[in-house]
Structure 1
Amino acid sequence: MIIDWKALAPELSRPLLKGGVGKVHLLGMADAALGLAGKGGPAAALYTELGCDLLLAAWEHDCLDGNTAGQLLALHRIRPVLRPEVLAVVSAVHGSGKPENQSYLNRLLQKRETDKTFRFLEQQREKEPGALFWSSQALMVGFYEAEYDRLAAWLHADTAIPAPLKERIMGDVAFAREDFATAVFHYDRAARSLPLVTYSVRLAEAVYRAGDKPRAVALWKAAAAQRPWCINTLLRLHDVATGLDTDVRLPEGRGAALLYTWNKAEYLDRALECIAASDMDGNRVIVLDNGSTDATPDVLKAWRERMGRDRMEIVSLPLNVGAPAARNWLMQIKALADCRWVAYLDDDAMLPPDWLGRFGAAMHAYPDALAWGCKVVDHGNPMVLQAVDLHLDEGGEVLPAPERMEPYTRRFSVSDIHHQELDFGWFDYVRPCASVTGCTHMYLRETLVEHGGFDLRFSPSQYDDLEHDLRGVLHGRMPVYTGHLRVTHMKRTGKAARTDSGEFGNAYANMYKLQMKYTAAEFETMRCNDEAAGQTDLLVKLLHLDS
């Protein structure tokens, strides 16, 4: 399959440039490709082949999903696309059945009661030992709750999962445990039994992390040749082949790490410990205390004693002015007058020792970026992705409203592909995007001042960082994401991130403000700028890989 990115129909080029992973995302693109193929024309054969492969990839990403297996079998009856060994496994998954009543399970999943959920699933497995639906639910809960011992026990007891799929899942468990040698063993066995591209990519990542770069590069090259539409593999291959994934260099000039905090003494203490243990090259740390009433002042005082007053400055406010005002306050501090760059760091973000060098490498690779951001994962379970490179989707969706508020039609939305995947290295690359997370990001101070402050209308928090990025994207100034810097975030998604009605109402209201701040035409300009930057970046990297 040969992909001419410039000639692809927008219905495919736009989503493909955002990413080539995520079951729901892949299913949508498969439907679009097959729909285009049905219209005929000179590209019909390409769109047919592409649609079939996208559907196969969707099943590969969630191999126990009977629904996707059924769609794949229906397509195979019309256009045989599956090798016999793959067809046998897909047929087994589809034929394993699915319970009609899932209401109790759905209630358990909503409550995130892990022990009770696993007990229920084990009971159902005993009642229906051939139903892979229960296994798929156990895997979902186990991976997202980091219950790897339970997953291993489940796989040992489950006799219904086809052997190649069990090997793949055992590889996933070992990968999540960072036992990459064992992951390689299982992925190797899975790939020999089922010649699936996703298995080869999983194997490549495990091989690379186990220390065999040449074999990993060869596997990635083979996968990229088979699936030239999967931008994640292409970008990963480029960065490893060029050494960008291991590049660590401190930013040029002086700079400062800026934090603002409110009543998170325990997290702040740990965050400052990470900063103190990192290579800051003598650069300053400035913390704004937003009127904390807990032990935050004591934590800050202790760390200033340890770091030294020449390295750490504390700004104490009598009340919480909110995130946008705190960011603006920090950017105007006199101590930054001689700084070339500044990094905004959340008070519950745990940084690796080389975080500044990772940012420096991204700055060196993309010196004209509006801002530089990173990959953020859940601190309790680092396999769960919270933020990667964000890209703009078209609007049109009617957003349900909280009580006493009217629903409205979105003018734009932000890609959420990373919420459909665990962190198997799919997002470990550097490239421009529409927005980077405000949890940990960096600016050239000159750019930050020229670009303007964070909008106070988004107080006390939520979406002020997104709006700040989009303001630049509107004029063609793009943020840059580096997935080679992974930051763990203490604030969890899911069960531990439930919010009260006031917080939800504030987030809803701030999103409404953002949706209405710019016209639909302006959001379309932003989306086009995001797409153009992504395509240009990809084509340059493809030329490098072909040379």
Structure 2
Amino acid sequence: MKSPLSSDTTIEYKPDANMMQASYIPTDRFEELDHIDLDGVFNVLEIYCDNLLPDLEACLVFLLRILRDKEAASHPKTLEWITGLVRKAIALGPFHKQALDLAQRLTGDMTIDARLERMAYFDLDPQLLDFRSVMNDPAMMRRKRILLTDVLDRMSAHVIAASQLLQLEYYAGNNHPEWLENFNPPKFFQEEWKQRTFLHYAGLGDVERAMKLWPEIASQPISEIQLNLAAELHAKSGDTEQALALYERSLAIDPRQKPVRLRIEELRHPSPVNASLLDKHSVTICLYSWNKADDLQKTFESLAQTNIGPAKIRVLLNGCTDHSAEVVERARALFPDNDFDVVTLPINVGAPAARNWLGALPEVRQSDFVAYVDDDVELPSDWLVRYLSVMNTHPDTSVVGGKVVFGSEPRMIQYLHRRFSVVYPGMIKLTDQCQIAQMDFGQYDYICETDTVMGCCHLLRIAHMPDGPNFDIRYSPSQIDDIAHDLKLRVDGGKIRYCGLVRCIHHQNTGGGFKRKMTSAQLGQVIGNDMKLTAYLQQHSDRIKTLMNEAER
């Protein structure tokens, strides 16, 4: 067997003098906006809205960045974007003081002014308005829940405390907590509270409770936010015609919502699914694992419940010292009709090299497609049929990947797909893979072109990779090699497609949907790998700009 650990797995590096003279600029979420001019900000915003439906955080970040720019008053795009972002922010945060303050100052709307004046009676400790830490600290969430509950015990109609507590319930996936049944908001906030609870129920996919509120919500002035939620409620109820009508109304309000356009297309013309492709194409499913025997067993059990036809299965044990070998041997019985084999390595060579080793196997090279599946996932029964159908419908596709959610219930989105959004000396940025703490209620169930998908369950077309899959070992042990692989394919002319009709449950970093804090060493590795990726991409900045322009068209 040819080892994949040879020097030909590295990516050729030819610095571009114009781009590489600039120092690397490390940026966290949205921080790239501080390094670009207002034209660039509007370009990033347009790309963002092509990928995602803006949440409250995004609306406020973009609003504040635009408004503090000295060119904003004279820029031709300012008014249109500000109007839309303010409308969304009000709908998403009916009791969010910062959003309402901003909206009132920009619009002079007296009804918002009256709402703020009434909200002032419900004072709340600022720490209970700040939830930035709760998604990576379950203990902090519990403490804030207790404090907010205490406020409601002392003042039962405290609508701001109730709204904040409801947000914590949303994060935890509690669609109808006991306290909510007994909460009565002040009379002058009845309508806003109905809007708030509709957002909660619909966002968590509680069709029955949300639909009970919908007639009253629909009788008031509504935005695209409520229309999009209601559209998916009707889609889940089987009323596709009404779902389409609501989405069309939403698009009339904001035509820039590309996810809505794609969702309409999927509802109107469902993507073809052809199970016979399993017998027409050869597929090898590859898994690799390091000391995660229990997760690996669950992954095999899930895979065995899916329709994989005659696909081959290859497993690489990456220096495992637990009982993974026994798990793999038992798993053979789950796949009596499939060619099943294992590669056992004495040491852990890291994820990129493991992928390459599997990709170098003769049977993989001879396959039409190779699927890489992580060792901690649950898969829908039709995942491979869906992926093959995308490949068949779009023969220019090199890689297809799905929608990834956390293992908690209800399903919180972990990863959708990403596109290039900024090309700047020292900084090349991709769109966020998803928004923080957003549940999957069907809003991203469609197929589209993109620049990269998540590698925990993706399918690659071998014909587009003459030398086989080639994951860069510089990103070892396990970070962003899948992203780098996709982006190199894009630079070389390949097509990547996202298939949101496949929902992969990924148990990595799952604890009720919470995100673990990174250690200093982990953060250093993230920044180091980002520097490596940026150095490679900046060699191809002109090509990336061309890809971005093509995507806009």
Q: Which residue of 1 aligns with 2:125?
A: 99
Question: How far apart are the structure 2 equivalents of 1:55 and 1:524?
Answer: 35
Query: Match of 2:479?
Result: 462
Equivalent residue number for residue 347 of structure 2: 319
1:154 to 143, 155, 180: 180
- Contact residue 175 and residue 206 of structure 2 kept, 8 A: no
- 1:71 pairs with one of 102, 114, 134: 102
Unaligned runs of 5+ in 2: 1-40
2:36 is the alignment partner of 1:18: no
CA contact (8 A) 1:144 1:383 kept: no
Q: Which residue of the partner structure matches residue 215 of structure 1? A: 242
Return the alpha-carbon distance in structure 2 between the equivalents of residues 222 and 94 of structure 1.
35
TM-score, L = length of structure 1: 0.82
Cα gap change, 1:337 to 1:109, in 2 (>3 Å): closer
1:428 aligns with 2:445: yes
**Structure 1 residue 373, shift from structure 2 partner:** 1.0
What is aligned with 1:544?
none
Q: What corresponds to 1:447 in structure 2?
A: 464
Gap regions ≥5 residues in structure 1: 1-7, 398-408, 537-547
1:444 deviates by 0.6
Code of the residue aligned with 2:324 in structure 1: it is T
Higher RCO structure (Cα 8 Å, ≥6 apart): 2
Q: Could you list the per-position Cα deviations for residues 135-193 of structure 1 after superposition, in whole angstroms to 9, with x for gaps in the alignment?
A: 3432332222223343x523632525933443344445544665423332223332223
Q: How does 1:391-410 map to 2 (within 5 A)?
A: 391-394=419-422, 410=427
Q: Residue 321 of structure 1: SS of its match in structure 2? A: coil
8 Å contact from structure 2 (residues 462, 468) kept in 1: no
Aligned residue in 1 for 2:540:
522
**1:243-392 alignment, distance < 5 Å:** 243-244=270-271, 247=273, 249=275, 250=277, 252-308=280-336, 310-392=338-420
Change (3 A) 1:254 1:380: same
Quick one: structure 1 residues 526 and 155, their matched pair in 2 at CA, closer, same or farther if it must change by over 3 Å?
farther
Q: How far did residue 416 of structure 1 move?
A: 4.6
Aligned match of 2:530 = 511
For residue 423 of structure 1, what is the amino acid of its counterpart? D
- Residue 377 and residue 523 in structure 1: after superposition, are their counterparts in 2 closer, same or farther (change >3 A)? farther
Structure 1 residues 433 and 449: alpha-carbon distance in aligned structure 2, compared to 1, 3 A threshold: same
Shift of 1:218: 1.1
State the partner residue of 1:39.
74
Superposed displacement of residue 496, structure 1: 5.9
Q: 1:63 to 1:368 in 2, by over 3 A?
A: farther
Q: Distance in 1 between matches of 2:240 and 2:131?
A: 43
CA separation of 1:301 and 1:103: change in aligned 2, threshold 3 A:
same
Residue in structure 2 matching 1:51, options 71, 78, 82: 82
Asked if the contact 1:433/1:481 (under 8 Å) is kept, the reply is yes
1:472 is paired with a residue of what secondary structure?
Answer: helix
Q: Give the secondary structure class of the aligned counterpart of 2:125.
A: coil
- 8 A contact 2:386–2:502 mirrored in 1: yes
Give me the identity figure in percent: 23
Residue 497 (structure 1) aligns with = 516
362-371 vs 488-497, greater mean Cα deviation: 488-497
How many correspondences in the alignment?
A: 505
* CA distance in structure 2 between the partners assigned to 1:502 and 1:37 by the alignment: 40
Structure-2 separation of matches of 1:71 and 1:421 = 23
Superposition RMSD in Å: 3.2
Q: Describe the shift of the 1:356–1:503 C-alpha distance in structure 2 as closer, same or farther (beyond 3 A).
A: same
Deviations 1:79-98 (A, max 9, x none): x5x9x6x8866775677555
Aligned to 2:146: 119
Aligned counterpart in structure 1 of residue 261 of structure 2, from 207, 228, 234: 234
Aligned twin of 2:27: none
Further displaced range: 380-389 or 27-36: 27-36
Which amino acid is 1:190 matched to?
Answer: I
| 1:100 Cα deviation after fit | 4.1
Deviation at 1:501, TM superposition (A): 4.2
Question: Once the 2 structures are TM-superposed, how far is the Cα of residue 396 of structure 1 from its aligned partner?
Answer: 6.7
Alpha-carbon offset, residue 12 of structure 1: 5.0
TM-score by length of 2: 0.82
Instruction: Indicate yes or no: 2:161 matched with 1:134.
Output: yes
After TM superposition, give the deviation of residue 366 of structure 1 in Å.
2.7
